[in-house]
Structures are given as structure tokens and as C-alpha cells.
């Protein structure tokens, strides 16, 4: 599927299967981040890999948990490892970590995300991948980990961006390459308008 057709298909899928809940929450659990449509994620992986094909990426990075599946499909095409930041330090993670604070808009809580220093180094060229971008808190937290490691941020690939919440535009204004496959400009209880 060529890029324009795929992006149109993704928007149609959001309109058809997405559910809008109070508080501007868009639920796409039936196909993207709870139950997963493998064909759709394969198309996302292929499309994102084409966007970043010339960047010599050494690592795909995301935050647990919803971004992991998408990151794996992207990594399959780019033939790179996936590294995900954990939302809390567990007993199987060393004390030698990079860490950052992330406020979750959806879950209304703050987490300390961590990545073991063994897996993120100054030689890495990193592509960030996630299912949603709203205010940009998760991406800013991941960018902080990349900065701590003195690695290179290549860009960010997002399945669905809530453009009206401003996170993507703020990051773009700071010079970060953000490629979102579907950008929602407005959302009400019964309608979604996409950015062209």
C-alpha cells in the first residue's frame, strides 16, 4: 500500500473502530494498543521504515507498554533492536540507569522511566516510536534519556497525534523531526477532524 493510501486507510480505521471517551480520550484498543491488528502494524512498520530508511538508525526506542508492538514492527523493517523505557525500576534492572520523569495525560500520574545504561550509548542513533502523541510528555522523557546517554535523536514516529494538544508542534518548533501517520486537529464526543 503506498503512503497516501495507507494514511487514508489508517484515518478510516480510526473513524470506524475508534471510540471517544470523556476527557478527550480516543480508544483504539480494538486494533492498535490492546488487541492488535498485525496487518495494520505491519503496514505502519513498513511506512515508518520508508520515512527513516536513510538515517542509519541503530536503535528503536519507546516507552512501555503501548508503544512496544509498533516499535517491534518498525524494527523488523529497519533491522534494529528495540529498547523500551520501563515505567518503574524493577529488580531485574541494574542501578546503572538513565531516568526521567514522565506525566501521563491518560493515566493522570507521574512515572519515573528508566533505561539501563548498558543498552543506550553515545554511539546510538535513535528513532522514537509510540502509538500516541498528545502533549509530548512521553517523548520529552525519552529524549531526556537519549540526551543523558549523549546518543543522537534521529526523530519520532507516531501512529496517532492529537494535534490540538500541541505536543507535536512544540517538538517540531524545537527542531525535532516528528512524523505522525494520522494527526487529529479536533475531536468532540461524536466527531474527529484530521489535519490534511
Burial class (CB in 10 A: 0-12, 13-18, 19+), 109: exposed
pLDDT, tens digit, 9 for 90 and up, residues 142-154 = 999 999 999 999 9
Q: Comparing 73 with 93, which gets the higher pLDDT?
A: 73
Query: The CATH number of the domain where 42 resides is what?
Result: 3.40.50.2020
Q: What is the pLDDT of residue 138?
A: 94
Q: What is the pLDDT of residue 17?
A: 94
Overall average pLDDT of the 55-70 stretch? 95
User: What's the predicted TM-score (pTM) here?
Assistant: 0.93
> pLDDT above 90 covers what percent of the chain?
79
| pLDDT above 90 (res 159) | yes
> CA-to-CA distance for 57 and 194, rounded, in angstroms?
29
Provide the domain count of the chain: 1
Q: What is the pLDDT of residue 89?
A: 59
33-45: b or e for each residue (b if 16 or more CB lie within 10 Å)?
beeeeeebbebbb
Averaged pLDDT score across all residues of the chain: 92
Overall average pLDDT of the 156-168 stretch? 96
Q: What is the pLDDT of residue 105?
A: 66
Q: Are 156 and 178 in contact (CB under 8 A)?
A: yes
| Domain interval for residue 10 | 3-194
Q: What is the pLDDT of residue 189?
A: 85
Amino acid at each position: 500500500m503506498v503512503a497516501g493510501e495507507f494514511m487514508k486507510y489508517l484515518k478510516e480505521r480510526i473513524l470506524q473502530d475508534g471510540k471517544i471517551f470523556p476527557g478527550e480520550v480516543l480508544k483504539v484498543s480494538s486494533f492498535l494498543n490492546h488487541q492488535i491488528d498485525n496487518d495494520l502494524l505491519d503496514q505502519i512498520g513498513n511506512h515508518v521504515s520508508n520515512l527513516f530508511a536513510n538515517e542509519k538508525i541503530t536503535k528503536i526506542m519507546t516507552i512501555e507498554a503501548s508503544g512496544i508492538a509498533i516499535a517491534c514492527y518498525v524494527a523488523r523493517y529497519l533491522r534494529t533492536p528495540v529498547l523500551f523505557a520501563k515505567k518503574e525500576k524493577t529488580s531485574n534492572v541494574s542501578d546503572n540507569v538513565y531516568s526521567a520523569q514522565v506525566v501521563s495525560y491518560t493515566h493522570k500520574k507521574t512515572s519515573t522511566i528508566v533505561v539501563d545504561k548498558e543498552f543506550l550509548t553515545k554511539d546510538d542513533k535513535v528513532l522514537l516510536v509510540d502509538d500516541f502523541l498528545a502533549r509530548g510528555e512521553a517523548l520529552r522523557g525519552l529524549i531526556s534519556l537519549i540526551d543523558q546517554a549523549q546518543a543522537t535523536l534521529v526523530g519520532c514516529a507516531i501512529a496517532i497525534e492529537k494535534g490540538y494538544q500541541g505536543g507535536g508542534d512544540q517538538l517540531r518548533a524545537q527542531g525535532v523531526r516528528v512524523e505522525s501517520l494520522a494527526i487529529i486537529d479536533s475531536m468532540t464526543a461524536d466527531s474527529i477532524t484530521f489535519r490534511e
